[in-house]
Structure 1
Amino acid sequence: MRNSSKEIIAELLPFYQAQLMNKVIPFYMEYALDRQYGGYTTCLDDDGTLLSGDKYLWSQGRGVWTFSALYNRIEKDPKWLEVAELGVRFLREHGRDSQGRWVYRTSREGKVIDGPISIFSDCFAVYGLTEFFRATGDRAALELAVATYAEIRRRIAEPGFDAVAPQVLPKGWRIHAIPMIMLEISQELGDVAPELELQPFIDDCVHQIMDLHLRPEYHVLLENLTVDGQEIQTPEGRVVNPGHGIESMWFVMHQARRRNDQHLINRAVEAIRWMLEIGWDQEYGGLFLAVDRDGGPAAFPNWDKKAWWPHTESMYALLLAYELTGEEWCLDWYWRVHRWAVGHLVSSYGDWYQRLDRQGRPIKEVIALPVKDPFHLPRMLILGIQCLKRIASDESLIEIHFNKEC
């Protein structure tokens, strides 16, 4: 039995802080900083071994976000800005083609290997540059973020747009990943550049996620729909990605908190519960990478693997859901995910294991991209620390809901 809210905060907050500052960030400071060519080397094995010098541009943008956020949200240490600047310089010097589109992959030195085949490179550039501007006031970084954002908006509106590597966007389909990432980068950019008046577009992103992809009749969020928002009557049309859905819901909760919209918060929190219930492996524990709409195997590569990122996204989403609703089940599920993650994903190397088989054993098989970048895990820890501190300041709430056996 956990005797008081103070004991819970006393346990979780130091755990998050120690994981972030004593384990995860030191891992990337040792293995990911490329002081010779700039940016970050993120094709890493779990022990930090460099597997390839290739640089995926979305990992560069993600790294800029994380080190900028450390400065903005954890501690005002100039070294975090210096490390963030390492990524910003690489982005500025090697990230775009002649038309201002962000490329997908370069060599370690910055030579383009794959061009602008993934809009997610552009999106994470905006995400990182926006957070860097928050930290530094660097107007050139903000101007680059704004110009990139405008180009993203233009490209995704074009008929036949399909630059979504490593995913595939068949003709006539729409994918959840686009409104999802656009919601997050739009609300973050809009906070620092309100003159852009992004709220109507943000509202449309929320509509696409919550009224099209989210399907209450099945208690799932469908990743793939037709362009007019109808179900696709194939196995691929039935794919549910629990981690993606849960991450999307905390993006929605952030927007709902900005609006002070409790109804939208409640809808997103309910959807998190759906994703956990359908995605949790009842035999071995942990979240499947993907499942069918009705449960069971999905038409999705490596559907039964257990990756680190769905669990980190779930941990933050559940803390946030608890903060915003006080619902007891959020903590019950939080501890369930926490215990599984700590028992299977935490490694002796500092960072967590990236990929596990269904039984929870580390594997080397590449899933999606061959990268291990400083993003999902440190972002969860950074945002989780902020969330825990807010929860700790609301004694009336946590005394009621934290005094429970976990």
Structure 2
Amino acid sequence: MKKLTDEIQQHLEQKILPFWMKLKDEQHGGFYGEVDYNLEIEKQADKGGIATARFLWTFSAAFRVTRNEEYLEHAHHLYDFLRNKLYDHENQGIYWLVDFQGQPKDTRKHVYAQSFAVYALSEYYRVTKSEEALALANEIYLLIEEKGYDKENRAYCEEFDQWWKPVSNEMLSENGVVAEITMNTHIHVLEAYTNLYKANPTDGLKQRLIDLLEVHYEKIYNKDTKFLGVFFDKQWNSLVDMKSFGHDIEASWLMDETIKVIGLKDERFDQMVLDIAYNIAGCAMQEDGSLINEQVDDHYDKTRIWWVQAEAMVGYLNAFEHTQDPRFKQLIENLWIYIKKHIVDKRENGEWYWSIEPAGNPTERAIGETWKTSYHNSRFCLEFIERVKNQ
């Protein structure tokens, strides 16, 4: 595993991070909002709240793990843009979208976006000890709890307007349903709160994390099928028969990270983490080493999406650490071969394709945009470096 991790670190430092560093916007702040399929930078593309937070997390974490000062400089640059342009100082919270100059464009507030701001700001604090950044992370955390949490249903709400009035969840719904509760938001609130706990552990935050794990176990996880539900109504009834393989394997290791960080001893949660990993390994991995996207009713979407492969790498590494089952080691090795052969964009100055179509050709979609940033594949690399190299 050490040799594979050396290769992964080289890939991070020579391929992934240099691609994104070229997007630094010295004039207007933040990173340019789009790199099209032909690798042309669209300097007047809009800049997303989630994207900026993910970039900030990436370069903060990359500095923490590698100590490369160049990454820290980019983190400072991104922090300034998030704080000064994406944060609504009057009404609180992170905007969904600003234009290329940093002017508010889509002022909706989504709990999902707020959680990524908490995730990024807490990581930035971990490497800078900036009390301003920690204060902002805590402010958004308390805002989510005040505005975005439904205590009666033990559920995080989804979408609000600029003034925190609830609106229909257009941004995180799909498949013909508008969901009042999503698994996606809940796993990323968990992820964000866990990182905030690493930065600033408090008893109140620990209790929220325990409650969130309980909600995942009781409301989202199906103990019979070993899958997570995806879209729910306000009463936690599932709205569509959907299995999101990438989200499941991602959730397995994110939940385990929370368990480890807060030092929780609960066999139910430990078993859930491993059952999910074994389930996805058994039902959605392909002979070519890849992980397909999802299943809706009886239809399988066999697109190989970039982030799904990255999260599977970490999910199986996490499962291997717990079980030492050689099956997981083999899955990792096969996945990495697939990623290198198909997902990595071998064009000069390329990064990773958005996805590979079932027929085997790359999807002609932007290489960088509001939903495709440095976060998933950089994090997979950093997790391997920390777990394998730095042990």
Q: Bin the TM-score by the shorter chain.
A: 0.7 to 0.9
Contact 2:33-2:369 at 8 Å conserved across structures: no
Question: Which amino acid is 2:358 matched to?
Answer: R
Structure 1 segment 7-406 matched on structure 2, within 5 A: 8-9=1-2, 11-30=3-22, 32-46=23-37, 48-51=39-42, 52-75=44-67, 77-97=68-88, 98-158=90-150, 161-163=157-159, 164=169, 166-168=171-173, 173-195=180-202, 197-232=204-239, 237-258=240-261, 259=263, 261=265, 263=267, 264-281=269-286, 286-292=290-296, 296-297=299-300, 303-348=301-346, 349-365=349-365, 371-389=371-389, 393=391
Contact 1:118-1:165 at 8 Å conserved across structures: no
Matching residue of 2:166: none
Query: C-alpha separation between the residues in 1 aligned to 2:179 and 2:11?
Result: 44
| Change in 2 beyond 3 A, CA 1:228/1:184 | same
| Change in 2 beyond 3 A, CA 1:211/1:367 | farther
Contact 2:56-2:79 at 8 Å conserved across structures: yes
Cα displacement (A) at 1:383 = 1.1
| Change in 2 beyond 3 A, CA 1:257/1:325 | farther
| Structure-2-length-normalised TM-score | 0.87
Cα displacement (A) at 1:204 = 1.6
The range that moved more, 313-322 or 212-221, is 212-221
| Change in 2 beyond 3 A, CA 1:108/1:231 | closer
Contact 2:49-2:94 at 8 Å conserved across structures: yes
Contact 1:162-1:168 at 8 Å conserved across structures: no
| Change in 2 beyond 3 A, CA 1:123/1:273 | same
| Structure-1-length-normalised TM-score | 0.84
| Change in 2 beyond 3 A, CA 1:246/1:165 | farther
Cα displacement (A) at 1:99 = 0.6
Query: C-alpha separation between the residues in 2 aligned to 1:17 and 1:371?
Result: 24
Gaps of 5+ in 1: 1-7, 298-302, 394-406
Contact 1:68-1:135 at 8 Å conserved across structures: yes
SS of the aligned residue for 1:240 comes to: strand
Question: Which amino acid is 2:255 matched to?
Answer: V
Matching residue of 1:400: none
Contact 2:93-2:109 at 8 Å conserved across structures: no
Question: Which amino acid is 2:86 matched to?
Answer: G
SS of the aligned residue for 2:202 comes to: helix
SS of the aligned residue for 1:291 comes to: strand
SS of the aligned residue for 1:135 comes to: helix
Question: Which amino acid is 2:374 matched to?
Answer: P
| Change in 2 beyond 3 A, CA 1:172/1:378 | closer
Contact 1:13-1:385 at 8 Å conserved across structures: yes
| Change in 2 beyond 3 A, CA 1:260/1:322 | farther
Question: Which amino acid is 2:55 matched to?
Answer: G
Cα displacement (A) at 1:313 = 0.4
Give the percent of matched residue pairs that are identical in Structure 1 and Structure 2: 21
User: How many pairs were matched up?
Assistant: 370
Superimposed CA distance per residue, residues 54-84 of structure 1 (whole angstroms, 9 cap, x where no aligned partner): 1011110111111111111122x33222110
| Change in 2 beyond 3 A, CA 1:172/1:347 | closer
SS of the aligned residue for 1:22 comes to: helix
Question: Which amino acid is 2:278 matched to?
Answer: R
| Change in 2 beyond 3 A, CA 1:369/1:242 | farther
Cα displacement (A) at 1:220 = 1.6
Query: C-alpha separation between the residues in 2 aligned to 1:47 and 1:172?
Result: 35
Cα displacement (A) at 1:332 = 2.3
Query: C-alpha separation between the residues in 2 aligned to 1:367 and 1:304?
Result: 20
Gaps of 5+ in 2: 160-168
| Change in 2 beyond 3 A, CA 1:225/1:151 | same
Cα displacement (A) at 1:191 = 2.0
Superimposed CA distance per residue, residues 104-127 of structure 1 (whole angstroms, 9 cap, x where no aligned partner): 111111011101242222111111
